[in-house]
Structures are given as C-alpha cells and as structure tokens.
Structure 1
C-alpha cells in the first residue's frame, strides 16, 4: 500500500489556529477589565475579527484529513475507537479537572452525577470545551458526510456542475447561518420537541451541522490537493482583496450592531452570512500563508506547536486563569493592550510547554492526544530521507 504524502502545511495552520484561539480568550479577559477606553476596545474588536478563523480552520483541517485518508473506505469501529482514545479521553480528563476546580459546580450532593454528565455532553466544564463536543460530531457521523460528499462529487462531473454544486452548498449554508443569526433571535423560534430544541436552538453553537460548509470545504481540498494548492498560490491577490473588503464590512457590522458606542464581541459570531463569506476568504489566505511560511527554516517551531496544539488547547484556559491571577497580584501587564500581548505570549508558551511535557510521559496520549506519536513518526520520516531514491 502506497503511503500518502504528509500534508505538512496543516501543522502550521493548527499552530496559527491555536494561537488565534488563545488571543481571542485573552481579549475576552482584557475587554472585561474596568476602564477600557473606546479606542482600545475598537482595536480589540478589530483584532478579534482577525482571529475568528480559528474554529473554522480546525473544522476545515478535520475535513481535509478525513477525506484525504478515508475517502475510499473506512473501518468504522477501529476508526471511532482511535478517535475516542485520542480526543474524548483527554477531553474527559481535562473536563474533570475543570469541574474539580470550580467552587460549587452543583447545588446538592444528589446532583453530582447529572451535573458531571451534562457538563461533559455539552462541553460546559470550561468555556472553551464546547469545541471538542462540536468537532467530535464530524468523526462520529463521518460515514454520513462521506456519502454526501461522494454524491456531490459524482454529480460534479464537469466544471459547470462543480460551480453549481459549490454555489448550492454555499447558498444552503448561508441560509442556515442566516436562520441562526437573524431569524431565531428576532422571532424567538423554538421546537416543541425538547431534544430538537436543545440540539438545534439552545446549543446550536456546538451543533456540527451549523459548521458543515468548512468540513466539506476541507474535503474538496483533500480530493484536489495539488490543484487546490496551486489555485491558492495563483489567486492569492484576489483572495487578499476579497478578505480586505469583507474585513471592512464585518467591522462596520460590529460598530452598527454593538450599540451605544460600545464594542460587543458577541456580534462577531461565526454563525452569520457575512462572517461565513469573510471566513472562507480568510481560510484560503491562511492556507496560502502556511504554504509560504512552510518554506522558511524557522517554520519547524510552528509545526511543533501544531502537533501539540490539542493538548495545549485543552490546557490553555486553566493556564490563562492562573496567569491572570499572578499578573494581577504583581500589578504588571494585567491591563492595557500591551498587557494583553504579554499575557497572550506567556499563555501560549506555557500551554505548549505543559502539553509537550505531558505528551512525553508514558501515558501522555491520555492527556494531550497522539502528539508524541506524530512527532516520532515525523522524526522517523526525516531519518529515512537521506536513503530515499
């Protein structure tokens, strides 16, 4: 069996996405500080928009990797068993840690089991864990997405049909995020059936179907990888122009919808039509940057961060909490724009260092996923290169 090429740019994109997530959460902390002036709030809002590609980027990469490796066939029991060990086990352990550190996660002793179960199922043990609940649904339902993607690809037998397919899926997704951002809030739409209302309305921010376009976009990149890379390289100027125009428009929306001269970061939700178009342009631009930066010698450090990004992601909220307590106690860098940059750098470095250290333990995969296994595989490939050919 021929071994497939390793898509090296994905490690860089993972590192970019992880760093973007960390700074988003740092901005959230610093925006809530008393005395933030309007100018600083505007800068935070602009930076926040620049970082919004993170979650869609992780979904895009998930689709790319799954369709690249499992487009033809999949042995579902072994496939899902591997993902449970690499994704859900570390998630469960860190969820328990976050719950244990909460002062009073439940009101009465009899509620303990229910609160733990609900927190793990909904990703509410900490503010960032919703993402794991959402992303795992793509693995769980991959056979369904595999059939959908194959059906679309069979239909798209020529260039015209490819355009029609992408246009139709984009329109369908645009309607879905319009329903989420505009229709539900203004009309108070609810389902009468409790589980439907919970999954499609109350917790729609962690419903994988509300992000499906980025997953299928990753699938498109996977089955046309060489062509996709070349297209991104050739069209980077047009992609950049589209990104700049859409960045300006969503900035206008942020001011328009925040109200009363304030900056409301909740306006910058990914689940609205303008952010959908902006995010697609940004993902293409980030992919181009990963291809470009990947040629640099120093890119190996980004790649290493990318390999340990899952563990670092699980850990970073805890690191940020105690880091901010320390900075506040010392009365340094706990406020101001400069302080947010310092907190971001420290949180990123500490989260990576802890993830790297835990990953090298014998049971490290239970805590941070398969990062160390991937690192050793890459080292093995590098050692074999001088003997190739």
Structure 2
C-alpha cells in the first residue's frame, strides 16, 4: 500500500468533538436541575448550539478516513473483521457494564434476554451508545457508499458539475432532515412494515442514512485534501461570518420553539434543515481551528486525547453519573453554571485517564479500541475508529 500523508489535524478535531460531547451531556444534567433561572438556561442553550458539531464531526472524519484509505478498493471481510474487533467488541463490553448497573423490575428469562438483545442492537444500554450503532452502519455499508461516491465523482467531470452535484445532494439531504423534523411529527407518518417503521421512523436518530451528507462531505475532503485545506484557510473570514449568522438564526429557533419560560434542548436536533446548514459551516470552521491549533506546541495534548477518545467516550457517561452523585452529596459545584464547567473538566480528565490506563493493558484494545497500537503506527495513516474517524 502506498504510504500516505498523516492527517495530523484529525486527532485535534477528534479531541474537540469528544470534549463537545462531554459538555453537551453535562449541560443536559445541569439544565434540568431545580432552580435554574431563565438567563442561565439561555446560556446553556447557546453553549449547546456551539457544541452541536460533535456527532457530525465524527461522521465527517469517518468518511474522510475511509475514503482516504479505501477509495479505490477494499478487502471487505478483513475490513469488517477489524472494525468488529476494534469497535463492536468494546461497545459490547461496555453495553454489558451499563446494563448490569441498571435497576429493573424482575423479569422472566426470555424478557431479560430480549431486553439485552434489544439494548445492544439499538444502542440503548446507555443514553450515549446509540452513536456507535449509527456510525458502525457506515463501516458495514461502506462498499455501497464507496460505489455511490465514486459514481458521483465521475459525474463531476468539471468544476461546475461538481458544484451542481454537491448542491443536489445537499437538497436531497435537506429534504430527508425536513421529513424527520417536520413532516413525521406533524402528520404521524408511519410505515406499514414493522422493520421499516422501526428503522426509518422510531430509531431514525440512529439511522446512518439520516446523517449521510457529513460522511460524503468527509469523502470530498479526502479526495481533495490539499484544495480543501487551502479553501478553508483562504475563506475562513467568510466562513466565520456565515457561522455567526446561522448561529443567531438557530438561537432564534430555539427560543421560538421551546415555549414561554423555558429552554427545550430537543429543539436543537441535528435532523432539521437549519441545523444542517449551520453544522456544515461549523465543521469547516472547526477544521480551520484544528489547522491553526496544530501549529501550537501544546497541541500534542489534544492529539493524545483524540487517540483515546473512543474509550473515553464509552466510559464518560458512567464517570459523569458517579461524579454528579459525588458533587451532589458534597454540595459542591452541582447546581450552577460554574459547576457545569467543573463537572465537564473533571469528567473529561477522568474519562481520558481511565481510557489511557485501560488502553495500555495487554487486552486494552478489547476495552477502548486499538488506541495504543495505532499510536505506534500513526505516522503512516490516520486512525480508523468510530471516535477516531
């Protein structure tokens, strides 16, 4: 295999996205606490919007890494075997841990078995595990996406055609998220076939097809990497201006749709057209920030966090649960905006430390993915984990 340039900024974006996920979940805890005033809730809502790039960023990086490494051909069996080992095995282990910690009424053997199977298949053993189920679909169906992407690229024989295809794909995706956010809730749309209704309606938040634009966007960045970097570096002022305008608009939507006197974070779903446009612009800006951060000597700490982000992601919900119990029991930092920053920092550091420690064990790859093994060979190619691209 031809040796390729290491895409150093991906570790930084990975770390940014992990930190954004952690603080989103911290905000979810603090905004529901008794006594949160409207001003603080508004600040939480604005911060939540700033952090919404996280999941799309991981999907974008997944597309970038896969198309960068496997654009031409792929040995599917070895490809999928590697992903099962490095992604699904740690996911299964941590799903079992979260299920074991749940308190549920006594159930029969068959009911318990169905609950376990359903939790693993849907990523519902804990509130954050849905993402692994969703992202793995891109790996599982990569030959389909590879074929589609190569066809679209073949059609884009000129710059004008390329722009037209990007706009067309964007319009198709806008319709899909409009269908999810507006049409389905307003009309109670359902499929008659149970499996279609489950996959396309009930669990659409973890259906990879509802996020496909960010994956193909990553593929576009992969096959035009130098041009992509140059463009976002050259036009970052325009990108920043568009970001501020869209940030103001989705903030208006949050206040408009939340109802009087409170902030409803469910309004800030990624699956709606306005959030789609906002997220695309934000991803470009985050990539520019990663390029800038990479020039700073201290960026190695962010890069280290990025390498262990998958394990830290799997662990952080458990850490946050017990951290909040401890802060509440001690009556420290458990009910204020400052407290949310403290909880975020503690949860991030502890999750990373546990992931790093587990990753250095002989069987660590089974618990946190292949972070340590990949660290030794990262000078050749970018990492290939769900929270590593």
How does the TM-score come out when normalised to structure 2?
0.97
CA-atom RMSD in angstroms: 1.1
The 1-side partners of 2:363 and 2:134 are apart by: 25
Residue 14 (structure 2) pairs with residue 14 (structure 1): yes
| 2:48 corresponds to | 48
Deviations 1:22-74 (A, max 9, x none): 00000000011000000000000000000000000000000000000000000
- The alignment partner of 1:189 has SS state of coil
Tell me the alpha carbon deviations over residues 236-282 of structure 1, each in whole angstroms, 9 at most, x when there is no partner: 00100000000000000000000022100000000000000000000
Task: Measure, in 2, the Cα distance between the counterparts of 1:146 and 1:353.
Answer: 36
- Counterpart contact for 1:18–1:54, Cα < 8 Å: yes
Q: In the comparison of the two structures, how many residue pairs are matched?
A: 381
Gaps of at least 5 residues in structure 1 are 382-389
Q: In structure 2, how many angstroms separate the alpha carbons of the residues matched to 1:8 and 1:113?
A: 43
Post-superposition offset of 1:378: 3.8
In 1: Cα distance, 2:84 partner to 2:142 partner: 14
What CA distance in whole angstroms lies between the structure 2 residues aligned with 1:231 and 1:380?
A: 25
Judge conservation of contact 1:308–1:368 (CA < 8 Å) in 2: yes
Partner Cα separation in structure 1 for residue 291 and residue 31 of structure 2: 33
Q: How does 1:112-127 map to 2 (within 5 A)?
A: 112-127=112-127
What does residue 179 of structure 1 align with?
Answer: 179
Q: Which runs of 4+ in 1 moved over 6 A?
A: none
Q: Does 1:221 align with 2:221?
A: yes
Q: CA deviation at 1:106?
A: 6.2
Partners of 1:268 and 1:380 lie apart in 2 by 38
- Partners of 2:28 and 2:106 in 1: CA distance: 26
Given that 2:91 and 2:132 are in contact with CA atoms closer than 8 Å, whether structure 1 keeps it comes out as: yes
Alpha-carbon distance change, 380 to 238 in structure 1, aligned in 2, over 3 angstroms: closer
The alpha-carbon deviation at position 109 of structure 1 amounts to: 3.3
Equivalence map 1:209-248=2 (5 Å): 209-248=209-248
Equivalence map 1:73-112=2 (5 Å): 73-104=73-104, 107-112=107-112
Residue matched to 1:149: 149
Structure 2 equivalent of residue 358 of structure 1: 358
1:269 corresponds to which residue?
Answer: 269
Q: Is the 8 A contact 2:3 2:380 kept in 1?
A: no
Q: Show structure 2 runs of 5+ residues with no match.
A: 382-389
Name the CA shift for 1:177/1:40 in 2 (closer, same or farther; >3 Å).
same
Per-residue CA deviation, residues 96-123 of structure 1 (Å, 9 max, x unaligned), is 0000000117633331111111000000
Q: Deviations over 1:202-231 (max 9, x none)?
A: 000000000000000000000000100000
